[in-house]
Chain A
Amino acid sequence: TQLLEQSPQFLSIQEGENLTVYCNSSSVFSSLQWYRQEPGEGPVLLVTVVTGGEVKKLKRLTFQFGDARKDSSLHITAAQPGDTGLYLCAGGRSGGSNYKLTFGKGTLLTVNP
């Protein structure tokens, strides 16, 4: 059973378009992280959200943690080719090691020039 479902699985858009990717779970997480992974590289952390309803902005990227801390979204405004990559969400739980993050399978984004 995949605890974190990401959608869509694949997304191909033109430069300048906006997009939203989703990360959903039936479980509650104490924190949720978003990573971006480029070909041939490991994932790189973009943001960590820990409070239900929290919204964080990173330039053209907006991250939101659901009120119930079960879901999250990533919105990109005016996408650029440099945004191309695999976007992974990862949920962490307190009470144990937070290094045992649960990852979604990712959304593969391609931004065409």
Chain B
Amino acid sequence: KAGVTQTPRYLIKTRGQQVTLSCSPISGHRSVSWYQQTPGQGLQFLFEYFSETQRNKGNFPGRFSGRQFSNSRSEMNVSTLELGDSALYLCASAKVRGSGANVLTFGAGSRLTVL
């Protein structure tokens, strides 16, 4: 079956611009999480969506936002880009949101470079 698809894979923006990244989860997966990965900070949790509702949010400024559509596809947006937003943005989907350990399937990521 198809994996998690993220688009675009690479993009370059300049400071002050905004960007929208897209994530298509595995069919049947209703949970989508977003992470930012940088060499200095590692993987940091941005937010998680389940059935179109944001269930958890990490410690990022309000410039980072997201949404989930009825088909479970998700988008994240970063407004007023800063140099420090340059990173690999990873999306992960999971089948259910339960109380036990869940299996995340990651996409290949969208590498954002801010000049």
Contact = CB atoms under 8 A, between A and B. Distances in A.
Interface in A61-97: 88, 90, 92, 94-97
B100 A42 contact: no
A35 to B, nearest CB: 8
B87 interface: no
Give the interface residue-count category, chain B. Answer: 20 to 34
B37 to A, nearest CB: 9
Q: What is the size category of the interface that chain A forms with chain B?
A: 20 to 34
A40 B94 CA distance: 21
Contacts of A88: 42-43
A110 interface: no
Given A99-B33, A99-B94, 17 more contacts: A2-B42, A31-B100, A31-B101, A35-B106, A41-B109, A42-B4, A42-B92, A48-B103, A90-B43, A95-B99, A97-B50, A97-B56, A98-B98, A100-B56, A101-B45, A103-B45, A106-B42
Interface of B: 4, 31, 33, 35, 41-45, 48, 50, 55-56, 58, 90, 92, 94, 97-109
